[in-house]
Amino acid sequence: MPDYKKLYLDLMYSSEQAIRMLIEAQKRCEDAVLSEAVELTEEERDRI
């Protein structure tokens, strides 16, 4: 008979890892967009 507690804990652990990976990817993307926006703002200031 399968050890359902172990299977459940494995599933929850893997789900938590996936969520953390998605959060980190989202943060990297947000940082990239924000840094690009700052660079554009600095370039616009130079034009003035």
Regarding pTM above 0.75, the answer is no
- CA gap 35, 5 in Å, rounded: 45
Examine the pLDDT at 48 and tell me if it is beyond 70.
Answer: no
Confidence tier at 9 by pLDDT (50, 70, 90): very high
Q: What is the 8-class DSSP label of residue 48? A: -
Q: In this predicted structure, what is the pLDDT of residue 5?
A: 97
> What kind and span of H or E run contains 25?
helix 4-47
CA atoms 35, 39, 40, 45: torsion sign: positive
Q: Which of 4, 30, 19, 25 is nearest to 38 (CA)?
A: 30
**26-41 pLDDT, tens digit each:** 999 999 998 887 777 7
